[in-house]
Structure 1
Amino acid sequence: MADENQLRDARDAGDRLLASHPSEDPFAAAFKATRMPMLITDPRQDDNPIIFANRAFTELTGYSQNELVGRNCRLLQGPDTDKAAIAKIRDAISEERDVSVGILNYRKDGNTFWNALFVSPVRNQEGAVIYFFASQLDFTNIKSKESELAKARRVAEEEASRRTAELIEALRVKTELAHEVDHRVKNNLLTIASIIRLQMRMNTNPTVEHTLKSILDRVEALSAAQRKLLNDARVGQFDVADFGRDLVTDIVGSLQRPDIVLTTDLHSVTVSASKASALALIVSELVGDAVRRGLSDGGGEIHLEIRRLNGHCLMRVVDTVTPVEADGEQQAFSRAILDASIRQLRAKIEREVDGHRTEVCVTLPVGD
């Protein structure tokens, strides 16, 4: 608390300041009338006391002119005022430089307000600091809006986290369910294949055995596709090229013919898992057709190409074989399976035969 001598000195300094600016002086008139809270302190006196405050400042803080003059501005500070902000102001005044800071201040009645404070030194002609001029702006409403926005952001983030956790859990359940379904389908296909093999071993009719082998080939193609789905971490996705590589290698490898030359040009093309079975049958029928037309008898060349092309999946099988007489019934059955799979996928098929060379292209839309 300032003593009487300090109060008298502060009032005298204020009076001298006002006396140097008569009432008709625009500076004095603007300082008193402006709605922006302002005050002036005198650093040449002990504790840099307030020597003048305008009406806007007294209305903002609740202190009268008499209660303010002679006291340091720290009377506006309170228990929740940021110590770092206080230190920033104190250092700027000590170093006689400008400072601007947002600080929590207290009114006379104890209520708080957020103060956008700007302090600047006033120098005489010799450059010595004779006053400090301070302006204030109550930005409590803005700070409240920021607080509301921060709270809303926290609520939104918490809700997003909760929803994300729910989605992750739902995806986990879906993944487990999809793998369980794939696992059961794969097991069922393996069981069917085992039954067919058993029937083949017990059969003595070459025609029946040939028919059973034809069915087994298709079942194994479907089983291979299902195995890919089960082992792929990307649930619901099927890589056509990855599957095609394995299937054509298995088919050609099972023939055990060193005179068969297999080449591939494969690029990853991912499609929905719902297309897997139909695609597996298409690749199986295209390669199987080359086998039936002579690849398994006289050898030859077979080339498999799979790539993405203009929003489509291109599957291209080229073979060069010495033709043999193929079973007409088997060829018709294969063509029926191939046509049904093509229709299911809304794909297009083009076939070109030039002597011993046959090229078949299948294209189906896969989007981006």
Structure 2
Amino acid sequence: MSDLNSSRRGARDAAQRLLAAHPSEDPFAAAFKATRMPMLITDPRQDDNPIIFCNQAFLKLTGYTEDEMYGRNCRLLQGPETDPDAVRRLREAVDNAHDVSLDILNYRKDGSTFWNALFVSPVRDESGEVIYFFASQLDFTNIKSKETELAEARRSAEEEVTRRTKDLSDALQAKTMLVHEVDHRVKNNLLTIASIVKLQARLSEDEVVKRTLFSVLNRVEALSTVQRKLFTSSDLGRFDVADFAKDLIQDLVGALHRDDIRVTTDLAPVLVPSVKASALALIVNELVVDAVRRGLSDGGGEIHLQVKRKNGHFIIRVTDTTTPVSVNPEEEAFGRLMLDTCAKQLNASIERYEDGPRTDVLVTMPVEIMKD
């Protein structure tokens, strides 16, 4: 106790010397005492760098009296939850006589806490020796509380976003599985229908019936190819017409086993909504089958397939060069009807040019029609 009293006497003596150097009319002394910002002064030349002066704002903030503060080290304001790293930074700055600015959790006399924006600066005499440390405090507990509330709100929001994202991901996965299952069943049903039609065509002895059934089979297989493409696609909502067209022309021409048919293509990825896939697939199918029917299957020739975007439009073009053969008028009429019906569904226009052995059919659709 005698050590504390001795320290307090030393602190008061130092305070008196400080006040003597700054009489009451001194603007510094008047400002120091009257300001609403908590401030204190310590004396590093005394043992444990005690507080030798503090203003009323500091006493009001901490709840201590002058007698309780004089001669005490500022660590009096530290407590169990004070950040050791902040204490270390403060101690190192004092030991090395450096300025330091930090936020630190301090304790009042009654044990309540406050967040202290602390600034400590050494005061030197003319020779450069540190004779005082000046410290100012700012209670920013309310701001810190708001930061904590915002951090908690942000954490809660992030957790909610994570939860909602998981729910949406689970729902999307379930939907994807369902769509895949539906596509799988549709594909299997189409394959079953194709098998039945194929079997009936092979058993039929009537050439007209046989030809008609194979015509139906061809279109069913085209739709089956569409379902296979959708089923294996990573994007269930989009259908690549160019990719489908490439496979279809290879399958149709390859099935003829003719080495005198030359196939060329000009294809660029064109993604369209999957709901338009069937109509587009049948358009490509009708164009290629028409070229095969008009002479490619008999005398060979050339066929060129183009699928791309051009001048703000989406085009499908089939150009063939072959020696024309007689075509069944009913098959040709039905093929034209299928083509016109599908084109009408897509608001597409059809242009047909014939020049001797060369036939050019162009189907044009506005790009906007291909959007959802």
TM range (shorter): over 0.9
CA displacement at 1:239 relative to structure 2: 1.4
* Paired residues of 2:62 and 2:109 also in contact (CA < 8 A): yes
Note if 1:343 corresponds to 2:351: no
* Paired residues of 2:237 and 2:273 also in contact (CA < 8 A): yes
Q: CA RMSD in A?
A: 1.4
| Structure 1 residues 191 and 145, CA gap change in structure 2 (3 angstroms) | same
After superposing the two structures, state which structure 1 stretch, 357-366 or 286-295, moved more.
357-366
* Paired residues of 2:273 and 2:371 also in contact (CA < 8 A): no
Q: Specify the code of the residue in structure 1 equivalent to 2:98.
A: R
Tell me the equivalent position of 1:120.
121
Tell me the equivalent position of 2:267.
266
| Structure 1 residues 30 and 23, CA gap change in structure 2 (3 angstroms) | same
Tell me the equivalent position of 1:42.
43
Tell me the equivalent position of 2:361.
360
Once the two structures are superposed, residues 345-365 of structure 1 have per-residue CA deviations (whole angstroms, 9 ceiling, x without a partner) of 222333333332222222332
Unaligned runs of 5+ residues in structure 2 are none
Q: Specify the code of the residue in structure 2 equivalent to 1:144.
A: S
After superposing the two structures, state which structure 1 stretch, 252-261 or 236-245, moved more.
236-245
Tell me the equivalent position of 1:140.
141
CA displacement at 1:233 relative to structure 2: 2.1
CA–CA separation in structure 2 for the residues paired with 1:350 and 1:104: 82
CA displacement at 1:120 relative to structure 2: 0.6
Tell me the equivalent position of 2:226.
225
* Paired residues of 2:272 and 2:371 also in contact (CA < 8 A): no
Say how many residue pairs are matched.
368
Give % identity: 66
| Structure 1 residues 310 and 157, CA gap change in structure 2 (3 angstroms) | farther
Tell me the equivalent position of 1:25.
26
CA–CA separation in structure 2 for the residues paired with 1:363 and 1:128: 90
CA–CA separation in structure 1 for the residues paired with 2:237 and 2:7: 83
Q: Specify the code of the residue in structure 2 equivalent to 1:19.
A: A
Once the two structures are superposed, residues 202-259 of structure 1 have per-residue CA deviations (whole angstroms, 9 ceiling, x without a partner) of 1111111111111110010001111111111222321111111110100010111111
* Paired residues of 2:48 and 2:73 also in contact (CA < 8 A): yes
Match of 1:255, SS state, is coil
Match of 1:24, SS state, is coil
After superposing the two structures, state which structure 1 stretch, 156-165 or 309-318, moved more.
309-318
Note if 1:176 corresponds to 2:173: no
Note if 1:90 corresponds to 2:91: yes
Tell me the equivalent position of 1:157.
158
After superposing the two structures, state which structure 1 stretch, 254-263 or 320-329, moved more.
320-329
Tell me the equivalent position of 2:316.
315
* Paired residues of 2:98 and 2:122 also in contact (CA < 8 A): yes
Once the two structures are superposed, residues 265-285 of structure 1 have per-residue CA deviations (whole angstroms, 9 ceiling, x without a partner) of 222222221111111101100
CA–CA separation in structure 2 for the residues paired with 1:186 and 1:330: 26
CA displacement at 1:84 relative to structure 2: 0.2
Q: How does 1:234-245 map to 2 (within 5 A)?
A: 234-245=235-246
* Paired residues of 1:81 and 1:105 also in contact (CA < 8 A): yes
After superposing the two structures, state which structure 1 stretch, 237-246 or 34-43, moved more.
237-246
CA–CA separation in structure 2 for the residues paired with 1:307 and 1:352: 19
Tell me the equivalent position of 2:248.
247
CA–CA separation in structure 2 for the residues paired with 1:308 and 1:7: 90
Once the two structures are superposed, residues 97-129 of structure 1 have per-residue CA deviations (whole angstroms, 9 ceiling, x without a partner) of 000000000011110000000101111111111
* Paired residues of 1:312 and 1:367 also in contact (CA < 8 A): no
Note if 1:75 corresponds to 2:76: yes
CA displacement at 1:310 relative to structure 2: 5.5
Tell me the equivalent position of 2:333.
332
CA–CA separation in structure 2 for the residues paired with 1:148 and 1:113: 16
After superposing the two structures, state which structure 1 stretch, 46-55 or 325-334, moved more.
325-334
CA–CA separation in structure 1 for the residues paired with 2:103 and 2:133: 18
